Amino acid sequence: MQTVNIGFIGLGTVGCGAIALLRQNRELIERRAGCRLAVRKIAVRHPDKPRPIAVDPALLTSDVREVLEDPHVHIVVEVMGGIDPARQFVMEAIQRGKSVVTCNKELMAKHGSEILDLAKAKGVDVNFEGSVGGGIPIIQPLKQQLVGNRIRRITGIVNGTTNYILTKMTRERRELADVLREAQALGYAEADPTADVDGYDAMYKLCILAAIAFGSRVRVEDVYREGIGGVHARDIEYAQELGYTIKLLAIAQEDDDRLIELRVHPALLPNAHPLAAVSDVFNAIVVEGDGVGRVMFYGRGAGASPTGSAVVGDIVEIARNLCYNAT
């Protein structure tokens, strides 16, 4: 069996989740992939930092060049997050002929077309399944199995933190600030909750989905964005009396004139709508295509292990291509 070598940049929650899953199911994954998968190097800021998984110290380096410049690394997994320097690292990896796996939603939303154009020119793959919906298969199904459809609309609950907060507010009739403090204590919300509460995270994810569905005409600046900051317990109560649930929705739709509308905002959903029942940290995305009708994808939208599952799926897909084309 051939060996495909993987270099990680970053080893936070998702990186640890992916490596743990690769270890736990190594035999199964390699049999399915048809090749060996070897983690060759992991670039981290602080090699000595304690982590949830044990990692051979020889794999760790604080010098990202050891990943980017290693000619034996076939796939670079970027799980450091943020734009700078993640963007430069991803571009350099591609430039050097390496394929890339990333879950970096902000990066793909803002610079996806530049990254994918370079990847195309260099003949390498860039997979980013984990950037939307955690472990839920949505990006590749949209690109592949639903490729025959003109997509009319995508409607998603794509931010687990705000969905958890709204669910708690609904069930326990509490106010946002109160639930948010609890979510922060439980680790479901960041110390700085802006990205989630104000809808930035959902906006990035929406841009990624819309770019696939509608082509590269999608820009972050074109999204109408409103977070859940203005939702009060009494709004939820009134909505419930009328048979509605309040959810933070990310919506992308194309009208008959091919105009694209992109928006993230709290919305009233009739209780019978399939998305109304999506609670807690779960995510779900409804895709409406002219062939398939309505399909929905549902699951855990975040977390080490679900997002790790997406990263491993992306790695294996690239590894299969590499091995197939090498034979």
- Taking the least distance from each CB to its own copies, the nearer of 200 and 214 is 214
What is the Cα–Cα distance from 201 to 232, expressed in whole angstroms?
21
- Taking the least distance from each CB to its own copies, the nearer of 261 and 317 is 317
What is the Cα–Cα distance from 105 to 82, expressed in whole angstroms?
9
CA angle at 18 for the pair 121 and 36, rounded to the nearest 5°: 70
Judge contact between 51 and 18, C-beta under 8 A.
no
User: The tokens of 89 are what?
Assistant: 């690292």
User: The tokens of 33 are what?
Assistant: 């992939």
| Shortest Å, Cβ 33 to its own copies | 7
| Shortest Å, Cβ 263 to its own copies | 23
| Shortest Å, Cβ 136 to its own copies | 5
- The active-site residue out of 98, 168, 205, 247 is 205
143 catalytic? Reply is: no
Strand partners, 293: 289
Burial 228-260 (b: 16+ CB within 10 A, else e): beebebeebeebeeeebbbbbbbbbbbeeeeee
Q: Give the largest CA-CA distance in the chain.
A: 63
Q: Which residues bind to its own copies, rule: CB under 8 A?
A: 17, 21-22, 24-25, 28-29, 32-33, 129, 135-137, 140-141, 143-150, 274, 277, 289-300, 303, 305-306, 308-314, 316-317, 325
Judge contact between 68 and 95, C-beta under 8 A.
no
Judge contact between 90 and 98, C-beta under 8 A.
no
- Taking the least distance from each CB to its own copies, the nearer of 61 and 149 is 149
| Strand order across the beta sheet in which 99-102 lies | 60-61, 36-43, 3-9, 75-78, 99-102, 126-127
The upper half-sphere exposure of residue 229, i.e. CA atoms within 13 Å in the direction of its Cβ, equals 11
Judge contact between 31 and 317, C-beta under 8 A.
no
- Taking the least distance from each CB to its own copies, the nearer of 11 and 302 is 302
| Shortest Å, Cβ 186 to its own copies | 18
| Shortest Å, Cβ 210 to its own copies | 15
- Taking the least distance from each CB to its own copies, the nearer of 72 and 294 is 294
- Taking the least distance from each CB to its own copies, the nearer of 213 and 267 is 213
Residue type present at position 325: N
| Shortest Å, Cβ 63 to its own copies | 28
Q: Enumerate the active-site residues.
A: 205
